[in-house]
Amino acid sequence: MHETRHGVALPETPREFGFFINGGWRGDRDLFERNSPSHDIPVTRTSRCTPEDVNDAVAAAREAFEDRRWSGLAGGARAAVLLRAAEGIRQRREEIATWEVLENGKPISQARGEIDHCVACFETAAGAARLLHGESFNNLGDSLFGMVLREPVGVVGLITPWNFPFLILCERVPFILASGCTLVVKPSEMTSATTLILADILAGAGLPAGVYNVVTGTGSSIGRALTEHPDVDMLSFTGSTAVGRSCVRASADSNLKKLGLELGGKNPIIVFADANLEDAADGVAFGISFNTGQCCVSSSRLIVERSVAEKFENLLAEKMKKIRVGDPFDPQTQVGAITTAAQNDTILNYIAKGKAEGARVVVGGNALQCGGGRFIAPTLFSGVTPSMTIAREEIFGPVLSSFHFDTLDEAIAMANDTVYGLAASVWSRNINHALDVTRRVRAGRFWVNTIMAGGPETPTGGFKQSGWGRETGLLGVEEYTQAKSVHIDTGERSHWISS
């Protein structure tokens, strides 16, 4: 009999997936069994592909690109496929959300919201497919006309992480498809289910065979083979800065493929004394706890004006104590499980380092027992100094470090005191302060009196060691194109060689 959690039946046996190449499913490989991080039961079995499978997938994507079965279509025809895919995701929303919860451990309410965002990504990309255009230069004289064409870059390798398996996938795939490229996708071996479900949805939406291919397995084997492949024209990778560096090296050593990288973050959230402190406290609590802090744009460094620091930290601590941590199938749960055992150990080790180096735990700082699985209480450290480990390194968990400032310039300097530059937030009723901080803090995404707001209409990406390139929005389509300059002579040639 199926065990149920809040009306959701847990699988009695793991769901088995093949891998997807050239419009068809393949199997007959060793299997990787994934346990639910929330329930400690096996939930999926996915194929351990081989480097030869990567070769087959790249060859299928290359053939599909070169014969122009996708890139040769009008933007409107590509848009129609993307809109049908959006509807397919909408119809399978509950199924996708369930498998996100089972493999990742995130709350069901959050997973549903993410899938709604994914639908929006496909719809936005459909519009972008129609709007993608180049430029014309009618100012070169009567005898010369110039154009800049936007052409798809070719075969794209896409490597996605385990923290947002479907969301990050859908912030990439429809925009890549809108450009006319073909893809080979390698999801995390921990969370492959929804990437494979998308293959089924895209095929049903009429995407030609070979345009979207999925190979599954480890990063060290399959990810590396894809990164080093000489027939992949561009690689998009989301993950750690350390692995991002290895992608740069692999590109240099293979075919100098173009790279799109979204990497680590140590993101500041600056709170001025004149802010609505209740609103700011709620925003800070959300910013560090969303997706269990396993989020590249998590607000992991609180920089609060000293005159209100004690009051604000007390407000924040009361907020964080009320965060509902537990079974992710409970619709009331706000923070679910830590996705991997290794990451759970990493977070707890950082908490221990913070304590050992003299930071003070205001709230949290411990693992929680929630009837099985791996859970950590949202944690606030005060008295953090810039030299502490928890102040410098990305923890990738629900751990927040608090710093105090006296002047605007000091706040900006503290915000920029990191090798990263992915996201930032400022809270103030003073528009001059807010605008000054927005202009001077180096980050690719910025929020004023809010956090993690916005949609796929605007671009995402980082400064400094947080990555290269931009995703989503029209820039997220252009990222997967090459610009070609064309000059057309409309007059008689003035001969270089005299007759």
Q: Give tens-digit pLDDT for 410-445.
A: 999 999 999 999 999 999 999 999 999 999 999 999
In a shared domain, residues 258 and 241: yes
In a shared domain, residues 219 and 239: yes
Q: What are the CA-CA distances from residue 136 to residues 153, 204, 233 (Å)?
A: 20, 38, 26
CA atoms within 13 A of residue 289's CA, in its CB half-sphere: 29
Residue 139 sits in a domain whose CATH number is 3.40.605.10
Task: Look up residue 286 and give its two tokens.
Answer: 């959300």
Mean pLDDT of 466-475: 97
Would you say residue 458 lies in a domain?
Answer: no
Residue 403 sits in a domain whose CATH number is 3.40.309.10
Domain encompassing residue 20: 4-263+466-485
Would you say residue 496 lies in a domain?
Answer: no
Low-confidence winner among 75-84, 474-483, 486-495 (lowest mean pLDDT) = 486-495
State the pLDDT at residue 2.
63
In a shared domain, residues 252 and 279: no
Read off the pLDDT of residues 19-72 as tens digits, 9 standing for 90 and up. 999 999 999 999 999 999 999 999 999 999 999 999 999 999 999 999 999 999
In a shared domain, residues 148 and 89: yes
Beta bridge partners of 420: 464
Indicate which residues carry an active-site annotation: 262
pLDDT of 379 higher than 60: yes
Find out whether 153 and 132 touch, Cβ atoms under 8 Å.
no
Would you say residue 249 lies in a domain?
Answer: yes
Mean pLDDT of 73-100: 98
Would you say residue 495 lies in a domain?
Answer: no
Find out whether 345 and 376 touch, Cβ atoms under 8 Å.
no
In a shared domain, residues 284 and 247: no
Would you say residue 150 lies in a domain?
Answer: yes
Q: What are the CA-CA distances from residue 499 to residues 83, 492, 494 (Å)?
A: 60, 15, 11
Report which of 459, 427, 472, 423 is spatially closest to residue 443, judged by C-alpha positions.
Answer: 423
Q: Quote the mean pLDDT of the chain.
A: 97
Percent of the chain at pLDDT exceeding 70: 100
In a shared domain, residues 405 and 258: no
In a shared domain, residues 231 and 306: no
Strands 155-159 and 234-238: parallel
In a shared domain, residues 115 and 244: yes
Read off the pLDDT of residues 144-201 as tens digits, 9 standing for 90 and up. 999 999 999 999 999 999 999 999 999 999 999 999 999 999 999 999 999 999 999 9
Report which of 355, 415, 421, 358 is spatially closest to residue 385, judged by C-alpha positions.
Answer: 358
The band of 1, judged by pLDDT with boundaries at 50, 70 and 90, is very low
In a shared domain, residues 111 and 254: yes
- Residue 244, phi then psi, degrees to nearest 5: -60, -40
d(CA 235, CA 261): 8
Quote the number of domains for the chain: 2
Helix H or strand E encompassing 352: helix 341-356
pLDDT of 458 higher than 50: yes
CA atoms within 13 A of residue 152's CA, in its CB half-sphere: 27
Read off the pLDDT of residues 332-363 as tens digits, 9 standing for 90 and up. 999 999 999 999 999 999 999 999 999 999 99
State the pLDDT at residue 499.
80
State the pLDDT at residue 435.
98
Per-state percent for the chain, helix, strand, coil, to nearest 5: 40, 25, 40
What SS3 state is found at 160? coil
Would you say residue 453 lies in a domain?
Answer: no
Let me know the angle formed at the C-alpha of 130 by 233 and 207, rounded to the nearest 5 degrees: 60
State the pLDDT at residue 3.
83
Would you say residue 341 lies in a domain?
Answer: yes
In a shared domain, residues 70 and 190: yes
Q: Any idea what DSSP says for residue 496? A: S
d(CA 145, CA 440): 41
Task: Look up residue 64 and give its two tokens.
Answer: 């599909």
Taking each continuous run of H as one helix and of E as one strand, the counts in the chain are: 16, 27
The model's pTM: 0.97
d(CA 367, CA 362): 15
In a shared domain, residues 434 and 480: no
In a shared domain, residues 32 and 153: yes
Helix axes 108-131, 75-91, angle to 10 degrees: 170
Would you say residue 147 lies in a domain?
Answer: yes
State the pLDDT at residue 26.
98
State the pLDDT at residue 490.
93
